[in-house]
């Protein structure tokens, strides 16, 4: 069995396992406080006198259920602003369970599935002219340390965050309630500890990489040719349109996640509960978006493209890789080197 076939088989098995774990999710994520289908509905019953309650002979659960879903009713109580119930919490809870918890796992499954399919059909993008053996400097040690710092922190936060978010529906059926409780508690402590490190890493990555990541005219040509995904050569400077978009997505969505994370870490700073509710939703939505795109980035940066990992591991890339993927940058680097060499010759002459 070749290495590629072995890797493909491993990926398929991992994917099938993940799919099996997630398949229990929708049934688990249903609302737990809604009235059961068999409850007697007296909400519209014109003969039902007096305030609704659940202690009488007839169930009033449908009435309370309707209230929780936003149905307006009033009370004569002077202490409740005339409103029977504050329903925002229930709306938030339902949105979380019915959309975020239910679909976030599936979005990630779909992304991994598509990447695997692409890999199985196209395989890794090879350097067309093969490796030349001559290397060109691409990233300094400081750039690489900043990159691996945020990559490590991000992946830890993603893993612990998904244990917190999906542990109950996905992991409890496999490892049991007690083990899941211990794991989730540990994940929560780790997540709270590493969160602020992400903010530090984000500022660091911004400072180190912002140069070269502003969009330019040449990027439109890249979009037009879909980045050469389906063939054809695309010119690019140090970073292409895809890399620039990843950089700005990370900066913008990463900032939203940092702010919403801080609000959740220090909830007492905000009196209005809505800040917290919006924060939890933005945080989960941002996490799924960033992780989905990060998976694509990790694919291209490792097994998906021959020679690209060298830039972040060794700090230099093969000359043929540079010519093929970042030709305008390569010409700049060669031009600068030639100028420095001739300057030096001039000085020593």
H-run or E-run covering 135: strand 135-137
| Cα–Cα distance for residue pair 41/47, rounded to 1 Å | 12
For 23-140, where are the alpha helices, taking DSSP H only? 25-28, 61-68, 88-95, 102-122
Q: Mask of contacts with ligand HEM, 112-141, x by CB under 6 A?
A: --------------------------x---
Sign of CA dihedral 253, 309, 312, 317: negative
Of 90, 219, 243, 319, the one binding ligand HEM (CB under 6 A) is 243
Question: What does the CA dihedral 27, 32, 38, 41 come to, rounded to 10 degrees?
Answer: -140
241 lies in the site for ligand HEM, by CB under 6 A: no
| Cα–Cα distance for residue pair 302/299, rounded to 1 Å | 5
Length of the chain in terms of residues written = 349
Span from 178-186, 214-222, 261-269, 307-315 in contact with ligand HEM (CB under 6 A) = 307-315
Integer angstrom CA distances of residue 190 from 55, 108, 185, 186, 194: 44, 22, 9, 6, 6
309 lies in the site for ligand HEM, by CB under 6 A: yes
| Cα–Cα distance for residue pair 224/235, rounded to 1 Å | 11
250 lies in the site for ligand HEM, by CB under 6 A: yes
Of 115, 150, 170, 288, the one binding ligand HEM (CB under 6 A) is 150
| 205: nearest Cα among 161, 152, 259, 162 | 152
Cβ of residue 287: shortest distance to ligand HEM, in angstroms?
Answer: 11
Residue closer to ligand HEM by CB (options 48, 125) is: 125
Of 88, 155, 186, 339, the one binding ligand HEM (CB under 6 A) is 155
Cβ of residue 13: shortest distance to ligand HEM, in angstroms?
Answer: 21
Cβ of residue 95: shortest distance to ligand HEM, in angstroms?
Answer: 26
Q: Mask of contacts with ligand HEM, 8-47, x by CB under 6 A?
A: ----------------------------------------
Q: Give the interface with ligand HEM as residue ranges (CB under 6 A).
A: 138, 147, 150-151, 154-155, 205, 209, 213, 239, 243-244, 246-247, 250, 294, 297-298, 301-302, 308-309, 311-312
């Amino acid at each position: 069995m070749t290495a590629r076939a072995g890797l493909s088989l491993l990926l398929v098995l991992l994917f099938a396992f993940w799919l099996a774990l997630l398949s229990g999710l929708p049934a688990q994520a249903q609302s737990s406080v809604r009235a059961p289908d068999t409850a007697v509905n007296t909400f519209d019953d014109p003969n039902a006198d007096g305030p609704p309650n659940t202690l009488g002979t007839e169930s009033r659960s449908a009435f309370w259920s309707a209230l929780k879903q936003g149905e307006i009713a009033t009370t004569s109580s002077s202490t409740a602003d005339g409103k029977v119930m504050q329903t925002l919490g229930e709306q938030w809870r339902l949105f979380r369970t019915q959309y975020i918890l239910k679909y976030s796992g599936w979005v990630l499954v779909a992304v991994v599935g598509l990447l695997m399919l692409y890999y199985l059909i196209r395989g890794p993008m090879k350097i067309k002219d093969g490796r030349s053996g001559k290397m060109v400097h691409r990233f300094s040690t400081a750039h690489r340390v900043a990159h691996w710092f945020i990559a490590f922190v991000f992946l830890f936060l993603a893993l612990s965050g998904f244990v917190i978010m999906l542990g109950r529906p996905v992991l409890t059926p496999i490892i049991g309630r007690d083990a899941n409780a211990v794991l989730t508690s540990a994940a929560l402590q780790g997540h709270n500890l590493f969160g602020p490190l992400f903010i530090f890493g984000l500022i660091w990555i911004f400072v180190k990489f912002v140069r070269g990541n502003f969009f330019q005219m040449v990027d439109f040509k890249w979009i037009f040719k879909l980045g050469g995904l389906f063939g054809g050569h695309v010119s690019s400077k140090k970073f292409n349109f895809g890399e620039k978009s990843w950089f700005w997505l990370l900066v913008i969505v990463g900032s939203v996640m940092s702010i919403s994370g801080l609000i959740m870490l220090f909830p007492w700073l905000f009196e209005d509960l809505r800040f917290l509710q919006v924060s939890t939703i933005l945080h989960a939505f941002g996490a799924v978006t960033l992780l989905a795109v990060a998976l694509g980035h990790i694919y291209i940066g490792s097994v998906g493209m021959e020679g690209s990992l060298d830039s972040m591991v060794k700090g230099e890339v093969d000359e043929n890789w540079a010519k093929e993927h970042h030709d305008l940058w390569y010409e700049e680097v060669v031009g600068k080197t030639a100028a420095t060499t001739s300057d030096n010759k001039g000085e020593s002459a």
